[in-house]
């Protein structure tokens, strides 16, 4: 089996979460963290990110165990990035309560030589400035997969469009897609994105599944049914981590979409990264087989 090198950029965070199942403070989170743990079940990625002095030993150990190298993980005096979110009862919508950049403010990494020629670059949710800075430091031509969020569409759209031009695969949820393109029809909006750079657009519809637009065709996938959703945080990042790991192993886009969805299904079953960490190969395979029956062309 092909195993390519994955480089991952995103936030490493301490999250405070409220859902209908309860509240938790300072959980290990962040887009890079979820994506790395998800990918690591198949391929351990290298990670670019920053943590502060309040980042605990057990949290660091999770990153050590999930990544191939932490060469580009910076530690700095100051607080780790913090995010607070509250979910509405439908589970698909949430409100950001606070975002405290901490040591991520002014973070401008210089990428080490070992990370300059990845085969796959996953730009998980983080500022487009940082995404561009990493893209511009690479020597090789990796397959670029991009995720983002409404905040960056609101405050850094021009920079985000620059990143899009260098992106092959965009992962985006339905509300972000409409906001970015100003088009209400998902099919037309995805076509518009394809004219801005990415050949492939994966639209995430939360509990309704996802649709992948590629060339002039599209296919859709459902979700793993009958799960108790305790905390949806990180589902999108786990989806991205799973998807990139499948592509890096040489699997098709369809298989990558299935793996992404399965990894997201583990993520939402408990608060923080717990259930993702505990996911086992046999259960991943059995959920994937079940889910493949919901593929529609
Ligand atoms: P998801 O639920 O997949 O959209 O990702 C949730 C994760 O994104 C949380 O663990 C947060 O720490 C992280 N996050 C929230 N806001 C931002 C932001 N502005 N930039 C980077 N990461 C963020």
* 191-225 pLDDT per residue, tens: 999 999 999 999 999 999 999 999 889 999 999 99
At residue 224's C-alpha, the angle toward residues 222 and 230, to 5°, is 120
Please state the rounded mean pLDDT for residues 99-122: 96
Sign of CA dihedral 138, 142, 148, 153: positive
Rounded-to-integer distance, Cα 21 and Cα 104, Å: 30
The residue whose CA is least distant from atom 1 of ligand 1 is 234
The response to whether residue 36 sits with its C-beta less than 6 Å from ligand 1 reads: no
Instruction: Give the model's pLDDT for residue 89.
Output: 82
Are the C-beta atoms of 37 and 63 separated by less than 8 Å?
no
The response to whether residue 31 sits with its C-beta less than 6 Å from ligand 1 reads: yes
The response to whether residue 64 sits with its C-beta less than 6 Å from ligand 1 reads: no
User: Can you tell me which residue has the tokens 């492939």?
Assistant: 200
Mean pLDDT taken over the chain: 96
The response to whether residue 46 sits with its C-beta less than 6 Å from ligand 1 reads: no
Q: Could you tell me the pTM of the whole model?
A: 0.98
pLDDT 10s digits, 125-144: 999 999 999 999 999 899 99
Are the C-beta atoms of 46 and 69 separated by less than 8 Å?
yes
């Amino acid at each position: 089996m092909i195993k390519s090198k994955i480089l991952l950029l995103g936030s490493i965070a301490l999250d405070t979460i409220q859902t209908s199942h309860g509240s938790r403070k300072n959980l290990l989170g962040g887009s890079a963290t979820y994506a790395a743990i998800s990918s690591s079940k198949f391929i351990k990625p290298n990670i670019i990110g920053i943590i502060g002095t309040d980042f605990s030993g057990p949290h660091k150990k999770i990153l050590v165990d999930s990544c191939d190298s932490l060469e580009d993980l910076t530690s700095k005096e100051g607080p780790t990035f913090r995010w607070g979110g509250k979910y509405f009862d439908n589970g698909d919508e949430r409100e950001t309560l606070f975002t405290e950049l901490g040591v991520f403010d002014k973070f401008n990494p210089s990428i080490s030589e070992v990370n300059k020629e990845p085969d796959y670059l996953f730009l998980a949710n983080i500022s487009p400035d940082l995404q561009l800075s990493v893209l511009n430091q690479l020597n090789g031509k990796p397959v670029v997969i991009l995720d983002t969020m409404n905040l960056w569409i609101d405050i850094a759209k021009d920079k985000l469009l620059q990143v899009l031009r260098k992106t092959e695969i965009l992962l985006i949820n339905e509300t972000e897609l409409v906001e970015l393109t100003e088009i209400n029809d998902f099919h037309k909006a995805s076509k518009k994105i394809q004219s801005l750079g990415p050949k492939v657009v994966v639209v995430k519809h939360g509990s309704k599944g996802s649709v992948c637009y590629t060339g002039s065709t599209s296919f859709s996938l459902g979700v793993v049914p009958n799960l108790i959703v305790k905390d949806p945080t990180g589902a999108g990042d786990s989806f991205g981590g799973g998807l990139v790991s499948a592509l890096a192993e040489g699997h098709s886009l369809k298989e990558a979409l299935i793996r992404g969805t399965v990894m997201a299904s583990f993520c939402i079953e408990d608060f923080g990264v717990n259930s993702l960490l505990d996911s086992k190969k046999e259960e991943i395979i059995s959920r994937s087989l079940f889910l493949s029956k919901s593929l529609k062309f």
